[in-house]
Each structure stands twice: as structure tokens, then as C-alpha cells.
Structure 1
Amino acid sequence: MASLKNVGRSLARCTLQSVARGPHIQSVRCRAAAPAVNVRPVDDEPAAPMVKTAIPGPRSKELLRDLESIQNSEAVQFFVDYDRSHGNYITDADDNVLLDLYTQIASIPIGYNHPNLMAVMQKPENLGHFINRPALGVFPPKDWAEKLRKTLLAVAPPGMSEVQTMACGACSVEHAQKALFIAYKARQRGGAPPTKEELSSCVMNQPPGSPDLSILSFKGAFHGRTMGALAVTHSKAIHKLDFPTPLWPAASFPELRYPLEDFVQENRAEEERCLAEVRDLIEIYQKKGRPVVGIAVEPIQCEGGDNHATPYFFQGLQDITRENSIGLLIDEVQTGCASTGKFWAHEHWNLREPPDTVSFAKKMLTGGFYYREQYRPKEGFRIFNTWVGDPAKVTLLEEVVKVIKSQNLVTNMANIGEYLQQGLKDAQTKFPGVVKNARGLGSLCSIDFNNSATRDKAILALREKGIHVGSCGDVAIRLRPTLIFQKKHADVFFDCFDSVLSSFK
């Protein structure tokens, strides 16, 4: 989203009482109320938003000037007082308290300053993980395998039992791609070792050691900002301008029409068209001498505009990978960790077999990727960097997993997601000339505005009322709440959203 630091603010506040809701919105949402789950409140979480100044306020602007003397800070929206942020609420440097439905770009799992995580930080037995950051690939802690079993393998995608940690989402995608390339060449060699020519030529970026291979991705995709991840990213020019990237195939991602139930045949035809394009591109690149070794796809194109496809499309993609003996990389960096009402979004697809690799980060606190056994490299140092992750983050994730399971937060996301989606659908019914295409999977929800200017005004207006949401694509706002988000928080959002949309009528 464009920088917001120079935009003026009013101090209008929306009422937080349920009686202030529009009658249509209120009645439908109440009928869709979610069953109760065991979500325990976070200590010190505010009862409601509170806006005291424009956002960014005087203190944020002062801090911005200071930061600008050190680095480019055009992306900064406001500065945060993380010590005073709690649960679902974020507090900025000017003491404004906002209900946060964007959560550090979808990366806060169980809220700010969760007491369980604060307790983990204070346990003497965990200090070594926080003080020391070992080079995990060569000098892992003695309890490393046990920690991986308690955390990442305890929530592994069905049918997957191997995992590699990494630091962030982009490097997770990068190294998952490397696993696809390694496995493809290993199959080609039929078990034989690399030749001397391959070993010498690869050092100088020359074939045959550096083969001309490719990974197919999708228009509108976002897989990260490092160079390999950029090769499969096609969402915004700002991500890719001036960087050399390989000429790899990019297929059309389905553009579904909403409401889905009214366009079943049209959407099936659109997905068939895109699957046919994938098949054609694989054949074209094979003839070019640049074979496709795998397909990289997001369950939902989040940065690209929250673009969805049906299980039929993803099942078709897996069929194509099997027909061509290539890999399927599912990028769950933003969609993983329970937000969609299942722990992994691809669980909604009923795939005939597990994916080949699944990348993760954000709410998982650590980066990394799961992989099937045939994608494990035979040599050390092939999937490697100094740290390959951080045991401190895995220690925190261990507690997050406990909270998710003990409070049934996957079910909470399914229930709250239904409530949020219904509220967005109600909004588009009430304001048809302003918003449209309400959609979501669990709590990972979005809605389109009729143009980008109105969308941007709505984001600013919501912030004035103490609601923090994110943008994506050209015209959408996206909701990315924590896993402990509840109906009462949704009602606060919808009160303010109704007020903002009413001002655009």
C-alpha cells in the first residue's frame, strides 16, 4: 500500500454499541453467530479502539524523520509501542489503540504479548535458545529433533513427515525450489553422481552443471522478494523493477465470478481454460529446451488481490504434475497456521496425495518447508545457510501450537471466518455501489471496492475510527485477524465498516 504518512486525519469515532448497527447487517450476522470455543482473553486487551490523534501522529512523524536520516522509510505507516499492544489491539507511538485485522501482514498467531509466550521467554531452560543462535545445519542444539517433532511435525500437512527450517517466507520458497531442481536432476541421472563437467561448469553458471530449467507460476502470484522467489512473483512492478530474473512460464490464475453459486458453469470453464494454459506452457517450454520441473502456487493469491480458485483447479494442477513427473510447490506462507479453518489451506482441496513441498512462515513464526521423502537431498550443504532458521522461534512456536490445540483455535477460525464472510456479504448487499465480491476461506477474508481510490480512502477512514486493515491487489481490502479473534471483535469492525461505507453512498 502507498505510504500514508502525509495523509491528514479527522478524529471521527464510530459508536461501539450493537444498537448502532444497521438493522439488516445486525439481524443476518446474529443468525450466523459462531458456536463458542475455548478462546481465553489476553491480559490487558483493550475493550475498544481509542483514537487520540491523527495517524500517523506527532510522535510517529518525529520518529519517521529520525529513521529517514538512516534509511528509506517510504513504506512506514506508523510507529508502534509493542509493549502496550495486547491481544487483538495494536497501540501506536501516539497512544492510539487500533483493533488490528492486519496483524503484521498476517504474521501474529495468538495476539500481541500473549501471556503464554511471555512465560516462555522467562523460563530459565529456554534462555539458551534466545541468547545463542546456532548454525543449525552444522551445530544444532541437542534437543533439536525433539523440538521439531513437538512443533513443526506435530502440525505437518497430512502425509508429510520431513521438514527443513528457514528464516523467512522468501528463503523458504527459494530453497523449496532448489529441492525441486535437485530432485529433477537426480531423476535424470538415474542415481549416478554428477559428472566432472557438471561440477566444474556450474561454478561459472554454465551448462551442463547450471541447467536451463524453469518453474511455472501464475500471473498475480507473490512468493517473495529474493531473486529466486521473484522469478515466480508477478503481482506488482515495485517488487521486480530493475532486477534480472529468468524467463520462466507464468500461466493465468482463474478469475472467478461472484457469488460463486451463481456462476458455477462459468467458473468451471475459467478454471479449465487456465489448466489448459498450464499444460500448453509446459509443452512449449519443453520444446524450448527449458523444461518445467515444478509448479509453484498459492492457495489464495493474497498480495495479488486475494484471488481464489476451487479445489477442482488445484486437483487439476496436481494431476498435471503427475502426468509430467514434476513437482508441486504449495506456498502456504500467508495461508498456513489455521487461518482458513484448517491448519493448512490445501487441506480444503481433498488432494489425492500430499503435495511435494509446502513452504511456510508468518504465523508459524519460523520459515521453512515440508517435503516428501524423494525431495530430500542426498548431500549436505545443498539446502543450507548459516542459520537455516532460529531455535528461539521454534521454542515460541511450541507454545503457540499448545494454545491452538488447547483452545481449539482451528475451529475458532472456521466459525469466525463464517461470521466475517457473512458480514462482508451483508455489506455488499447494503452498499452495492461501493463494495462487491466478498470472499474468504475461514478468517482469511476480503472484499473489493469499485476502484482503488475509494478503497484507499476506506482504509484511512477505518484507521481514523481505530480499525487497522490491509490492502491487496488493485481494489481489495484484506482481513488477517489473529487466531484468538472473536465475534465481539468482528462486531467492532463491522460497526465501523458500516459507518465508513455509509459515508461513500
Structure 2
Amino acid sequence: MASFLRASSGLRSMTGRAVPARSSFKYTSVRSLASSSSTESSFLADEPVAPKVVTAIPGPKAQEHIAELNKVFDTRSLNMLANYQKSYGNYISDPDGNILLDVYAQIASIPVGYNNPALIEAAKSDQMISALINRPALGNFPSHDWASILETGILRVAPKGLDQVFTAMAGSDANETAYKAAFMWKKQQERGGPDVDFTEQELTSAMKNQKPGAPDLSIMSFKSGFHGRLFGSLSTTRSKPIHKLDIPAFDWPQCSFPNLRYPLEEHVEENAAEEKRCLEEAEHLIKTYHNPVAAVVIEPIQSEGGDNHASPAFFRGLREITRRNNVLLIVDEVQTGVGATGKFWAHDHWNLQDPPDIVTFSKKAQTAGFYFGNPALRPNKAYRQFNTWMGDPARAIIFRAIINEIERLNLVEHTAKVGNYLYGEIERLAKQYPEQFQNLRGKGQGTYIAFDNPKRDEFLLKAKTFGINIGGCGPSAVRLRPMLIFQKHHADILLDGFENLAKSL
């Protein structure tokens, strides 16, 4: 099977231009030679040993497939046409025989490699077959083993203090249902508890989208944050106008997110002052905004908005503010969760005295939903949090297999170690090529590393000619999102690619 899975990889640039082939490139630096002679073995033994670029990207075969696809599907956002049957481990392939080291991983969504054998075995199980061909409407007809699937998978890695879950379909969906839980919790408090029934006025006004049944409550988010593209989640997304244009939005507040200066050790006082300013603004908005705030939603690292960081002290301060003002804290771990930061959940880095009220998840979990601990966050009546599917048991089974692989290979601790090595090497490159690696950030955050580049789009495009598939975010950031099975020898290939890129731009 391994020989079948290995092979080509190619991609189409975000600008729509073909990326020229660079078939002559070789990694022959001291770093690569040292890595090739090391004793490190790959987690997936039959993985390709290096990238290979043999055609322009997209090549002729990929272009044919793209033209065919464009007749029936919008391909304007297409970055790469992949051949997933021939992708393996950390490497993504295309129809033309190109093989790229993938440190973007489907926008941070592939945890343990393409065609991971353990996940293939899970997909073959009788439990998976039943979940796929008899997909249940979970709210009405859950399977007899649904509790077991949750307890042995999703709930096995629940954040500290959160022992219940509401499953969902995607990250946006997870955030939307979390917001609904916050609003229902807030109104239930005001009403006097779960046993106090709705008034006739509430029932009739809700059907007209009017108060008091449709109250003027809000969710506070942060500038440059991203929480999804559905209506409620989109109202809290603040990363790019293109996501929001022409879409009606709720009148909800946004707070400044700390704009830290780098290197952190050289700007300690001003960064502390900036975080203090943002916390003061947050509390002011919570206390004074004309639509009362039911919850605050925040990413541990603002991802789509540019990989923006804040200190653990900032998040501890925000937790204190939400507690003091009786609003919920929703931590959006859709992109940061499941090990990428060297902790299973990124908010574990904060050392909170008490946990967030809600943690949303998706991406590397391959399923979605939100964790909670307070029973009051369950609606007081049935059908208030409901849709046909309410998640997907098949994806929950895959997440369980992912968790098993993470634990078997100790991938969270591994990612922390590889991230430290990778950060240190990029830091050295930044001293040699300061224009190409600006505002390096993510120290101590596993492989969740980013830097700014003034020619970012050209950098990303040209990286493919060196056999690297990488992504960006925000106006100028290059973001690393490798898989949890990304190892030191993969890091060396990436670092050599970075050095060659820096020399060529």
C-alpha cells in the first residue's frame, strides 16, 4: 500500500499563474546532510524522503482537471489540485508527479499525515461502516454506542473542567451553537432559572424578530479575529472585509487585540502597557455597550488575522474580567487545538485559575463542536440546540483514531520539541536575512510559528518551486501549520527551502 500512496504533488498559485518547475533543486546544505545521516526514523516509514518538482505547477494534467472542474465548481480560490490517493504522511502529491512537503496541511486540518494507516484501519471498522451508511439524526435517533464513541474519543481529551460536549459539523457551526448557548444562559439567568417559563409576550415577539423574545444581546470579539463565515460567527469575524461584504451583521462590539512588538524581550514594558490598554477597553465595552454582552469570544492565537499573539497574563486578565462581569468566556480553539502549540489545547499555556466556560474545536479534530462544564449551558427545553445531524459519528470515530495516534507517538510533546528546534533555526535565518523574516513569533508554541515578509505572496508562490506548500494569513504573515508528525528532518528540508527562498527574492 505504501508504494501506491507515495508520489506526485502540485498546486495552482493563488494568483492563478502556473508555478514554474524547479526540477534541478537539491537540498545539499550542511543541515540536510547532517539530517540525512542522523538516526531519526520517520513516524511513517514509507514516506518520501524529499520533495520533488518535475513540472510547472499546475502541470498539464492538473490544468486539464482544473478546466474540467471549473465547469461545475468555482475554482477561483484554488491553491492546489491534489491527488490524495498518492499523498502520504507530510507530503502532498498532484496529478503530474510533483511531491511537496506540506506545512499548510489543509489550512491546519490534517493532524497525523495523509493516508495514515491507523486512520485507514479505523475507516474499515464495522462501527465506521455503520456510521457512514446509516448516518443518524443524532438529536432524535442516536446510536446505542454514541455515548461510548464520545467517551472514548472527543471527551477523552476534553479541556480541564469541561466534561460535556455539543457536537457540530464545522468550526463556524461550533461557534454559532456556542453563541446560542451563551444567549440562552444569559436570558435564563435574567428570567430566574431554567424552570421559569417564557411569557406570552416573549413567544409572540420572537416570531416577529422583536424584543423581548429576540433580545438585543451581543457577543464581543476582537479586531483581526476570525470565527467563521455563517451569520452569527461572521458578525464576530474581523479579519478581512471580503468575508463580510454585502452580508447583514449584528450590532456587536469589537475590542482591540494586543498589537505586540517583536522581539518580545526587547519590548517588555510597552507590550505590557498595550495588553493593559486592551483589557481596560474590554471591560469598558462589556460594561457600557448598548447591546449587553453575553459572552466574549477569543482565539488563543489570532490565526486568519495574521498569527497575532498575546501573553498568558493577558488571557488570565480577560478571564478575571469575564468572571467579574458575569459574562461567558468562549475560547475558539478551532485552529489552535489538538496539539499544534505543544499543548493539546493552546489555552493550557495560560495556567488559568478556572477554565473557560466554553471551548470550541474543529480542524485537526476532523469533527467539531464545543466543550462545556456548567449544566446551565444546556438549554432548558428540547429542540433549542438542534439540527438534523448535530455532528457526525463517522468523524468522531476518526478523531478517536487520531487521539490514539497522538498518544501512541507522544505527538504533543514531540511537536513542542520540534517547534523549539524550528523556531531557533528560523531565528538564526532572521539574523542573516532580516528583511525576509520579520516579527518572528511563536516561541514556545510548538510548530505554531509565523513571521512577516514584505513580499509574502511572492514568497508563498516561489516556495512551491522548492517543493514547499505553505500558507499565509493577515496582510503579510507566513504561517507554519505542519502536521503533528512533522519531524526534525522535515524541519531541515523546510529550513533549506527558506534559505534558498531568502537568497532568491
TM-score tier by shorter-chain length is: over 0.9
- Alignment partner, residue 241 of structure 2: 237
Residue identity in the other structure for 2:397: T
| TM-score, length-scaled by structure 1 | 0.93
- Alignment partner, residue 440 of structure 2: 438
Q: How does 1:41-440 map to 2 (within 5 A)?
A: 41-191=43-193, 192-285=196-289, 288=290, 290-373=291-374, 374-440=376-442
Tell me, which stretches of 5 or more residues in structure 2 are unaligned? 1-11
**Sequence identity percentage:** 46
Residue identity in the other structure for 1:200: T
Deviation at 1:43, TM superposition (A): 4.9
Three-state SS of the structure 2 residue aligned to 1:231 is helix
CA contact (8 A) 1:56 1:77 kept: no
Three-state SS of the structure 2 residue aligned to 1:358 is strand
Q: Is 1:455 matched with 2:456?
A: yes
Deviation at 1:124, TM superposition (A): 3.0
Structure 1 residues 235-294: Cα deviation after superposition (integer angstroms, max 9, x where no partner): 011100100001211011001111111111111000001111111212231xx2x10111
Deviation at 1:330, TM superposition (A): 0.3
Residue identity in the other structure for 1:271: E
Deviation at 1:371, TM superposition (A): 1.1
Three-state SS of the structure 1 residue aligned to 2:360 is strand
CA contact (8 A) 2:258 2:275 kept: yes
- Alignment partner, residue 20 of structure 2: 9
Higher relative contact order (CA 8 A, sep 6+): 1
Q: How many residues align?
A: 488
Three-state SS of the structure 2 residue aligned to 1:257 is coil
- Alignment partner, residue 8 of structure 2: none
Deviating 4+ runs (over 4 angstroms): none
Three-state SS of the structure 2 residue aligned to 1:477 is strand
- Separation (CA, whole Å) in 2 of partners of 1:4 and 1:464: 15
CA contact (8 A) 1:18 1:491 kept: no
- Separation (CA, whole Å) in 1 of partners of 2:425 and 2:77: 30
Residue identity in the other structure for 1:498: E
Tell me, which stretches of 5 or more residues in structure 1 are unaligned? none
- Separation (CA, whole Å) in 2 of partners of 1:459 and 1:8: 10
Structure 1 residues 329-380: Cα deviation after superposition (integer angstroms, max 9, x where no partner): 0000000001111100000001110100000000001010001223121212
Deviation at 1:18, TM superposition (A): 4.1
| TM-score, length-scaled by structure 2 | 0.93
Structure 1 residues 67-124: Cα deviation after superposition (integer angstroms, max 9, x where no partner): 2211321001221110000000000122210000000000001000000111112223
CA contact (8 A) 1:43 1:87 kept: no
- Separation (CA, whole Å) in 2 of partners of 1:159 and 1:297: 18
- Separation (CA, whole Å) in 2 of partners of 1:420 and 1:302: 19
Structure 1 residues 399-430: Cα deviation after superposition (integer angstroms, max 9, x where no partner): 11111111111101110111121122112111
Three-state SS of the structure 2 residue aligned to 1:317 is helix
Structure 1 residues 132-184: Cα deviation after superposition (integer angstroms, max 9, x where no partner): 21111111110001111111111000111011110000000000010100100
Residue identity in the other structure for 1:502: K
Structure 1 residues 179-230: Cα deviation after superposition (integer angstroms, max 9, x where no partner): 1001000000012211111111112211100000111100100000111100
CA contact (8 A) 1:2 1:75 kept: no
CA contact (8 A) 1:341 1:442 kept: yes
Deviation at 1:318, TM superposition (A): 0.7
Kindly report the root-mean-square deviation, in angstroms, between the aligned alpha carbons of the 2 structures. 2.0
- Separation (CA, whole Å) in 2 of partners of 1:14 and 1:446: 25
- Separation (CA, whole Å) in 2 of partners of 1:123 and 1:284: 54
Residue identity in the other structure for 1:302: S
